[in-house]
Amino acid sequence: MPKLKQDANSISHEANLLISILVRYPEIGTINYDADTGAIELTFMLSGIPAAAELDRIKAKLTASIAAYHTLEGIAGGQAAVRCSSCDQVTMLTIHRDVATLTRGEMALVIALIREGLLDRLVVDENDAVLEEDLLIQEEVIGDMLESMKKERSGSGLIGFREDGRVLVFNK
């Protein structure tokens, strides 16, 4: 039986980015990275099925806020889309973004807006063991990995999610 070996050099920038985002932002349930298109999808889990008007309101606010952020930061050509889907008593809010124009500040803005608008429904995997210093380090890593991915796109598609308080990342 072959042994699998993992060392620090074998972990891609993309995998590090997904891990850092999931550790830093417990509000995000899953992340999909598509290496072919250079796009990332952040999925938030909501308990229950909100009214269509509430979902339309939050989608419009997110879309307008991302566009305003891009204008203020001078980011041209950014692609953003927000969609919702429901299954049983869970709603998934997914934000589709291109990595080439995604910034750490934009991610913080999106998280703040979702927390503000959907806090009563948002499924959050809080980890009290994570120190504030660790969160700041994760923010720096996120910024560094985003910059690395903007310069060179490589690797394969990845999916990251949480399970029992752990962050897992797999190749698609």
> pTM here?
0.86
Contacts of 171 (CB under 8 A, 6+ apart): 156, 157, 158
Please list the pLDDT of the chain residue by residue as tens digits (172 residues): 334 344 444 467 888 889 989 988 999 999 999 988 889 999 999 999 988 998 999 999 999 999 999 999 999 888 899 999 998 899 999 999 999 999 999 999 999 999 998 888 999 887 666 666 777 788 888 888 888 887 776 667 899 998 887 889 999 7
Per-domain residue ranges for the chain?
8-171
Determine the angle formed by the axes of helices 104-118 and 132-151, rounding to 10 degrees.
130
Question: Which amino acid, 100?
Answer: A
- Check residue 130 and give its pLDDT: 60
Dihedral over Cα of 28, 50, 65, 76: its sign: positive
Backbone angles phi, psi at 135, to 5 degrees: -65, -40
Q: Which two tokens stand for residue 62?
A: 């997110």
State percent of the chain over pLDDT 70.
Answer: 88
- Classified as helix, coil or strand, 170 is strand
What are the tens digits of pLDDT across the range 136-161?
A: 788 888 888 888 887 776 667 899 99
Structural tokens at position 19 = 């891990």
* Residue 78: both structure tokens together: 């950014």
